Amino acid sequence: MAEIERESMEYDVVIVGGGPAGLSAAIRLKQLDPDLNVVLLEKGSEVGAHILSGAVLDTCGLDALLPDWQSMDAPIKTEVKEDNFYILGPAGQARIPNWPMPPFMNNHGKYIVSMANVCRWMAGVAEGLGVEIFPGMSCSQLVYEGDRVVGVVAGEFGLGEDGQPGPNYEPGMELRGKYVFLAEGVRGSLSKEVIAKYDLSKGHCPQKFGIGMKEIWEIDPAKHREGTVTHTMGWPLGSNAGGGSFIYHLENNQVYVGFVVHLNYANPHLYPYMEFQRFKHHPMVADLLADGKRVAYGARAISEGGWQSMPKMVAPGVALLGCSVGMVNVPRIKGNHNAMLSGKAAAEAAFDAIKAGREGDELAAYETEVRTGPIGKDLKKVRNVKPLWSKFGLVASLMGGGADMWLNTIGLTLFGTLKHGKTDAAATGKAKDFKKIDYPKPDGKLSFDRLTNVAFSFTNHDESQPAHLKLKDPSLPIRVNLPEYDEPAQRYCPAGVYEVIGEGAEARFQINFQNCVHCKTCDIKDPSQNINWTTPQGGDGPNYPNM
């Protein structure tokens, strides 16, 4: 392709991603200096379209950013009234009492929310302050000058299937800034490039991930208990994988039903989506959902490495925010508060730098604030829970991790800082060493096949564009992954993107990129690290209503 000429626009700060981190940064910048030129680019069709989270929100981040949020008509209404935790067996459950848990594990006083709607509201606040927000604008490239990031390419449309400009090609624009904030969420394509280019993970553990799947259900009003939060562990995963579930009763007789599978599982025959569907047949869950109606579905990878896995967050001209770094507190199942705090901290560092006449350098003050401030303190207390779980299982995690969390509240620890092991991709074992798992067929009432559920994510991609899921070696899925791992992409993808068609010499690997819900699991879990998730053209992907 010949070199493309693009128009450019200059800003003080360019923000990629309309999630809680990016929006918090935009709001804080304009609070500090209304004259700063701030632009926020969102690849979804609207802000919120690609936001999926549990979510029980700890409002500490919002309290710091917008202290008057309760008088600003925020969509944050359902306060947690009841907090339950169960260990499940195949036909029953045992409740774990709340009293042995450290105080910061308590969900009372937190709120059950749709983070998609919270982000839509935050976008309105940002625009009211003068932030320019452009939805439907995928950022496909970084712009460099020497060793410095100076901007992004956004809004490229009309590439044909071969990757060449088609008849309606639009080259997009370069949006340049004194600083670029990458708030893309988990495993963002530009963040991944920056981490690799500047070797930001050096000296840190590999990032760890989970796949979170979620459905919204309308249930019988007689069974609805607004404000109730329930978490479970155990069945159906057992010893096959770490993970668990959440059931949150929000308003309007709706419940969020979610399931998380840690992606460091070894058995390549494991099928996370079907584990989720099987979970809903547990008597406790089946009774709750009986005669109800599933109204939405989605999936998203979750960063789980925590304190040990956060890479360096800054490079010349660029800073990584929120889940681009990995700020989820795994035992609390919360990260939105830290995302907001990171956006606020990055904005304050950039404001100070611009005020001092600087641009394009490393915002070291941002990284210092993250590691030594409220985010670091939140994550450091729980840093050993995930590695204990990975190495010794659920019981050790509950007992040893619980004791360590208690000690950390007074500045002590049982274990120091435990390390994470190999990457989630490298944790995948060979198919010959594991038994296949027999999953029951979905019944169409409580459980559903993937393609039926994907329709409830309202996903759409223009089929004339190049596939945004790139194979480094197109022969590898059939040549290596199929004989060695029974090609796990057929199962770890929660949207049915990957298929093996035919058998033996006739087998071929098919990518149905139109189904992609942008969860990034393939980029994370592929044992050969052969799949590279890139952004499709703007506006494509899921259109989540109230996730």
The pLDDT averaged over each successive group of 10 residues in the chain (547 residues) is: 82 98 98 98 98 97 98 97 95 89 91 98 98 97 97 93 88 96 98 98 97 98 98 94 97 97 98 98 98 98 97 98 97 96 98 98 98 97 93 83 90 93 97 97 97 97 95 98 98 98 95 98 98 96 95
What b/e sequence results for 450-485 when a residue is b if at least 16 CB atoms lie within 10 Å of its CB, and e otherwise? beebbebbbbebeeebbbbbebeeeebbbeebbebb
* pLDDT, tens digit, 9 for 90 and up, residues 424-434: 999 999 999 99
Dihedral sign from CA coordinates of 321, 78, 110, 64: positive
Backbone angles phi, psi at 362, to 5 degrees: -90, 130
d(Cα 112, Cα 84) in Å, to the nearest integer?
Answer: 14
User: Residue 137: which CATH number?
Assistant: 3.50.50.60
Q: Are 438 and 267 in contact (CB under 8 A)?
A: no
User: Is residue 471 in some structural domain?
Assistant: no
Q: Are 482 and 510 in contact (CB under 8 A)?
A: no
Q: Does a structural domain hold residue 348?
A: yes
C-alpha span between 445 and 113 (Å, rounded): 26
Task: Indicate whether 443 belongs to any domain.
Answer: no
Q: Which domain holds residue 358?
A: 8-70+116-204+311-381
H-assigned helices in 142-239: 189-197
DSSP state of 446: S
Structure tokens at 277: 């569907």
**Rounded Cα distance, 227 and 108, in Å:** 9
Only one residue has tokens 């006739």, namely 506
Structure tokens at 241: 């994988």
Which residues contact residue 4 at a Cβ distance below 8 angstroms, ignoring those fewer than 6 apart?
171
Q: What is the pLDDT of residue 339?
A: 98
**CA 265 – CA 249 distance, rounded (Å):** 30
pLDDT of residue 3: 73
| Number of domain units in the chain | 1
d(CA 482, CA 471): 15
Task: Please give the Cα distance from 250 to 224 (Å, whole number).
Answer: 9
In terms of Cβ atoms closer than 10 Å to its own Cβ (0-12, 13-18, 19+), residue 101 is: middle
Query: Helix or strand or coil: residue 454?
Result: helix
Whether the model clears a pTM of 0.85, i.e. scores above it, the answer is yes
Q: What is the pLDDT of residue 401?
A: 87
CB 153 within 8 A of CB 16: no
Query: In 10 A of CB 79, how many CB atoms?
Result: 13
Q: Is residue 409 part of a domain?
A: no
pLDDT single digits (tens) 183-195: 999 999 999 999 9
Contacts (Cβ under 8 Å, ≥6 apart) of 534: 140, 189, 468, 469, 470
Query: Cβ neighbours of residue 241 under 8 Å, at least 6 residues apart?
Result: 261, 262, 264, 265, 267, 270, 272, 275
Does 91 fall in a domain?
no
Answer yes or no: is 227 within a domain: no
User: Is residue 301 in some structural domain?
Assistant: no
Rounded CA gap, 26 and 39, in Å? 8
Residue 126 belongs to a domain: yes
